[in-house]
A and B are shown apart, each in its own frame.
Chain A
Amino acid sequence: MGSPDALWLYLVTASTPPAEALDGLTGVGGSAVTQVSCGSLTAIVELVSLADFGAEPLRQHLEDLSWLEATARAHHRVIDAVARTAPVVPMRLATVYSTGDLLTGMLTDRAPSFLAVLARLQGRVELGVKAIVSHESAPAEPVAAGRPAGGEAGAGAGRAYLNRRRNEREAREQSRQRARMEARDIHAVLSVLAAGSRLHPPQSPELTGRPEAMVLNAAYLLGAADVETFAGEVGQLRHQHPDLRLELTGPWPPYSFAELDDEVA
């Protein structure tokens, strides 16, 4: 651990967070988070050391899953705590400034964009909806049951086994195709209820640790007052799509909707 010589940026907000929101809150480097004010904006930052959070150390750390997990959770903990008190624009993980001047220069230059995004996000939260195929044809029977035993019955049994495997594969592909169409319908219904929506790539089975296919991984931006209605609609959709498992997550700070307008151009 080196001496603190850089700033890890968590979020930008237009209001001064209440002291109790930051009280006792530690960040990715284990230090207390603090605020940097600049005009009408406030940045929530932590003093970190470039020895740990400089470009090259970060590059190496990001390959380490346990480091990534601890850092992602700490980054989120700070953003979540402040987002409960005021609209915030969350930063992507690993946004580090080597001097305070660079940070305040950026805040000054992009203040209009930050204020526009903050106005758009005011009073809104993000909900996540994932759809996972729940009734998929089971994986093939244990091979022993159908494996050709050899001898003259072997060829016929072998063909039957291969046919069965092919039919299972086709059935599984058809059911996934159906599931993907249902997911499109679900997304269309939910998008109408939301102020914004964004599709994330479906999570791979390697990451979820579950073999079932994910066919929808979406984020929706909702007014706080619309959350209950939205959750109720997800409940309805569960009944209409019994072959899918719908998982609702959140409310999240609006990570998926934090985009400065001047980035789009």
Chain B
Amino acid sequence: MTSASEITWHDSDFDPRGTDRLALVDLLDRVLAGGVVLAGEVTLSVADVELVTISLRALITSASTLLNQGTDTPRPGP
């Protein structure tokens, strides 16, 4: 019953533009919390964890603002 079509393959072909369809949240998990951090050796140590935490907090705020204003997404239960 489980077929390949049930699997969410985001990039089945090798078209880099296909990656635009990736869910933003999955992508941010990786580019903001993954990857090598070279803080300290970088003149602009903007990749440090603290800043990412700050920006994620901003993201959550702005994402929920967008959701609440932009769509009639069902609100989570109480």
Given the complex, which residues of B lie within 8 Å of A80, measured CB to CB?
A: 11, 16, 19
Does residue A182 face the partner (Cβ distance < 8 Å to B)?
Answer: no
Partner pick for B76 among A6, A96, A205, A260, CB 8 A cutoff: A205
Of the listed stretches A34-42, A147-155, A189-197, A245-253, name the one at the interface; the rest are far from the partner chain: A245-253
A77 touches B59 (CB 8 A): no
B46 touches A55 (CB 8 A): yes
B37 touches A97 (CB 8 A): no
- How many B residues have CB within 8 A of the partner chain? 57
* CB closest chain-B residue, reference A238: B2
What's the Cα separation between A91 and B62 when bound, in Å?
A: 25
Q: A90-B34, A247-B8 are in contact. Are A25 and B77 (CB under 8 A)?
A: no
Partner pick for B7 among A75, A206, A248, CB 8 A cutoff: A248
Shortest Cβ distance from A233 into chain B, in angstroms? Answer: 10
Given the complex, which residues of A lie within 8 Å of B45, measured CB to CB?
A: 55
Question: A78-92: which have CB < 8 Å to B?
Answer: 80-81, 84, 89-92
- How many A residues have CB within 8 A of the partner chain? 78
Partner pick for B26 among A75, A89, A128, A234, CB 8 A cutoff: A128
Does residue A160 face the partner (Cβ distance < 8 Å to B)?
Answer: no
Shortest Cβ distance from B61 into chain A, in angstroms? Answer: 9
A207 touches B19 (CB 8 A): no
Partner pick for B62 among A65, A106, A128, A259, CB 8 A cutoff: A65
* CB closest chain-B residue, reference A208: B25
Question: B40-78: which have CB < 8 Å to A?
Answer: 41-47, 51-52, 54-55, 58-60, 62-64, 66-67, 71, 73-78
A62 touches B58 (CB 8 A): yes
A92 touches B75 (CB 8 A): no
Shortest Cβ distance from A112 into chain B, in angstroms? Answer: 14
What's the Cα separation between A252 and B33 when bound, in Å?
A: 14
Contact with B along A91-117 (1 / 0, CB 8 A): 111111111001001100110000001
A62 touches B41 (CB 8 A): no
Shortest Cβ distance from A148 into chain B, in angstroms? Answer: 18
Partner pick for A248 among B8, B41, B63, B73, CB 8 A cutoff: B8
Question: A203-242: which have CB < 8 Å to B?
Answer: 203-209, 211, 217, 219, 231-232, 234-236, 238-239
Shortest Cβ distance from B35 into chain A, in angstroms? Answer: 4
A76 touches B26 (CB 8 A): no
Q: A55-B46, A106-B41 are in contact. Are A63 and B55 (CB under 8 A)?
A: yes
* CB closest chain-B residue, reference A102: B43
Q: A54-B44, A92-B37 are in contact. Are A249 and B31 (CB under 8 A)?
A: no
B60 touches A139 (CB 8 A): no
Q: Which one of B25, B27, B46, B47 has the highest number of Cβ atoms from chain A below 10 Å of its Cβ?
A: B46
Given A92-B31, A95-B36, A239-B2, 15 more pairs with CB closer than 8 A:
A9-B38, A59-B46, A63-B58, A73-B27, A77-B19, A80-B16, A84-B14, A93-B31, A98-B44, A139-B77, A209-B73, A235-B7, A256-B30, A260-B36, A263-B36
| Chain B residues close to A by CB (< 8 Å) | 1-2, 4, 6-11, 14, 16-17, 19-20, 22-38, 41-47, 51-52, 54-55, 58-60, 62-64, 66-67, 71, 73-78
